[in-house]
Structure 1
Amino acid sequence: MRAIALGLDRARYETRVYFRQGDTILFTFLFPVIMLTIFSIAFSSAGNYGTKPDGSGGISAAAFYLPGMIAAGILLSGVQNLAVDIAVERGDGTLKRLAGTPLPVLSYFVGKFGQVLVTSVLQIALLVAVAHFAFGVALPGAGAHWLTLIWVYLLGIVTSAVLGIALSRLPRTGKSATAVIVPIVLILQFISGVYLQFSMLPTWLQNVASIFPLKWLAQGTRAVFLPDSFKSLEQGGSWNLCGIALVLGLWFVAGLVASLVTFRWIRKDS
């Protein structure tokens, strides 16, 4: 319990530090909001997505891109944020100094997870607010949709967090962390239905994207915010919520094992 209490204090500290970093706020917290705004305005003149042959129905560009931006925000908050942050802390000696203090490893990670949870929830709330109030996107009315969002979000954010911890071992130095991690995250966004309609991608690329968690996370958020008619565009013609839970669960276990095996306060080759 003492380790948890220390971790919660650490989470408050981590959150304050997060919001004091201008580059982190711009490229992690506000980036999905900026992209949603750009896509909503740029493609508004193209008409609604998913219109019927007679021209009726469909949804606006803002409504179409909102689920993908929520999924991207979860990935940025967990994978990119933690991978870069921990790699930088390892490179500048912060982790080495923490290793010499009484702070338990559990408290350190409770702090990181706490910061990720707080910032990602605020980010999703901001995305939904911008979509609803600025672009008139209708929000789901059924409670089942919101329950789906909750479990998809929780499973997605913990999976992204453990994968971020595991990927923090890739950069050789703190200075190279952004250059190593950001391209991985960016490529996943392009092939997972965030910036491009997933059904437009070649079948082989859809199959490649299906290996990684972001495709399933984006599919889960689409199941919440898009009309049921859009599920015909998914692989298999359904939202496949059981498949989403299974794949994200497998990635969570893989990321957790990788984090436990690879995490060190300092690099072995330091």
Structure 2
Amino acid sequence: MSMTATPAARTAALPARPPGALRLGLSRGWLEIREFSREWEQLLFTFSLPALLLVLLSAVFAGDGDAGPAVAAYYTASLTATGLMSVSFQNLGIAIATERDNGTLRRLRGLPMPRSSYFLGKVLLVLMLAVGQVALLLGIGWAFYGVQPPPAGKWFDLAWIMLLGTTACTLLGIAASSAARSARSTQGAVVLPFLALQFVSGVFVPVHQLPDWLLGIGSLFPLKWMAQGMRSVFLPEEAAALEAAGSWQPGTVALVLAAWCVVGLVLCMTTFRWKTAKDG
């Protein structure tokens, strides 16, 4: 009897090829989405706060029947930008800091999973939340305040503004997760500047009513440009006269958001930590 193994037997004896980084990232993303969905309090807070602000601000400032839809359209656009920054910058900044504190990152680092797969999982979670946030705000604006959907030619603008803005804020959120020594202190380091930016970026107060020096501060950060880009999608062309430059500045919006993507990537690469400071 021959002891030589057949080709089929030799093939069966070979170890299975481990899944690639993309497949692991997709699996990680599905896990992130399922885990986030199970935390109903977090899910409710993430989606309800921008929607609640839209309802309150529209109710307060849209009392005039003629001006109502225009005011609601303004806040729908501006709060869509806020919602995108919330699900990316704020959500990731706090979530990753919490995972670092409770040892999740340390355990994940010990697994045979590329770092890129971990970050891909976070990106997929943010994309899911971003799409849900935009759909919810558009639905509320259309159903209750007569806000019209963007015209056909504006959907592409909505897509690239959403993509660039969310990417920039995602990278900044990952970097911000390392800004403080603990998850508890990170909440202040993330929530406080995010709240302040909403006041100086034309989200709550129209840009033409802001002092120049405040608007100048807001112009240094991505939220102001995300909100301006979203207004160019939802508001009529004549509304551009109320912007600081008297126009929508789509080229400047794209340039600033792309620059923040680069800055966010550099900050991620230079500041991200898998362990807490006390772990060394």
Given candidates 38, 46, 53, the residue that maps to 1:20 is 38
Deviation at 1:29, TM superposition (A): 2.3
Deviation at 1:176, TM superposition (A): 2.3
Corresponding residue number in structure 2 for 1:8: 26
Given candidates 199, 216, 234, the residue that maps to 2:208 is 199
Distance 1:230 1:3 in 2: 46
Distance 2:86 2:202 in 1: 15
Answer yes or no: is the 8 Å Cα contact 1:12–1:111 preserved in 2. yes
For the aligned residue pairs, the C-alpha RMSD in angstroms reads: 1.5
Check if 1:159 corresponds to 2:177: no
Deviation at 1:24, TM superposition (A): 2.3
Gaps of 5+ in 1: 50-57
Corresponding residue number in structure 1 for 2:10: none
Corresponding residue number in structure 1 for 2:134: 124
| TM-score of the pair, normalised by structure 2 | 0.89
Given candidates 87, 90, 109, the residue that maps to 1:99 is 109
Q: Go from structure 1 to structure 2 and tell me whether the alpha carbon gap of 1:67 and 1:47 turns closer, same or farther (over 3 Å shift).
A: same
Answer yes or no: is the 8 Å Cα contact 1:48–1:61 preserved in 2. no
Gaps of 5+ in 2: 1-18
Deviation at 1:59, TM superposition (A): 3.7
Q: Say which SS state the counterpart of residue 236 (structure 1) adopts.
A: coil
Deviation at 1:268, TM superposition (A): 4.3
User: What letter matches 1:125 in structure 2?
Assistant: A
Corresponding residue number in structure 2 for 1:222: 231
Deviates more, 1:144-153 or 1:258-267: 258-267
Answer yes or no: is the 8 Å Cα contact 1:47–1:60 preserved in 2. no
Q: Say which SS state the counterpart of residue 184 (structure 2) adopts.
A: coil
Q: Say which SS state the counterpart of residue 221 (structure 1) adopts.
A: helix
Q: Go from structure 1 to structure 2 and tell me whether the alpha carbon gap of 1:184 and 1:157 turns closer, same or farther (over 3 Å shift).
A: same
User: What letter matches 2:258 in structure 1?
Assistant: G
Deviates more, 1:224-233 or 1:130-139: 130-139
Deviation at 1:77, TM superposition (A): 1.0
Answer yes or no: is the 8 Å Cα contact 2:123–2:170 preserved in 1. yes
Larger radius of gyration: 2
Answer yes or no: is the 8 Å Cα contact 2:92–2:174 preserved in 1. yes
Runs of 4+ in 1 over 6 A off after TM superposition: none
Check if 1:108 corresponds to 2:118: yes
Corresponding residue number in structure 2 for 1:55: none
Deviation at 1:87, TM superposition (A): 0.5
Corresponding residue number in structure 2 for 1:186: 195
Deviation at 1:21, TM superposition (A): 2.1
User: What letter matches 2:147 in structure 1?
Assistant: V
Corresponding residue number in structure 2 for 1:79: 89
Check if 1:235 corresponds to 2:253: no
Corresponding residue number in structure 2 for 1:68: 78
Corresponding residue number in structure 2 for 1:54: none
The alignment of Structure 1 onto Structure 2 pairs a total of residues equal to 261
Q: Go from structure 1 to structure 2 and tell me whether the alpha carbon gap of 1:190 and 1:235 turns closer, same or farther (over 3 Å shift).
A: same
Corresponding residue number in structure 2 for 1:267: 276
Corresponding residue number in structure 2 for 1:254: 263
Distance 1:87 1:48 in 2: 46
Q: Say which SS state the counterpart of residue 235 (structure 1) adopts.
A: coil
Distance 1:179 1:208 in 2: 20
Answer yes or no: is the 8 Å Cα contact 2:181–2:277 preserved in 1. no
Deviations 1:102-154 (A, max 9, x none): 1210100000000000111011011111111122211222x221111011011
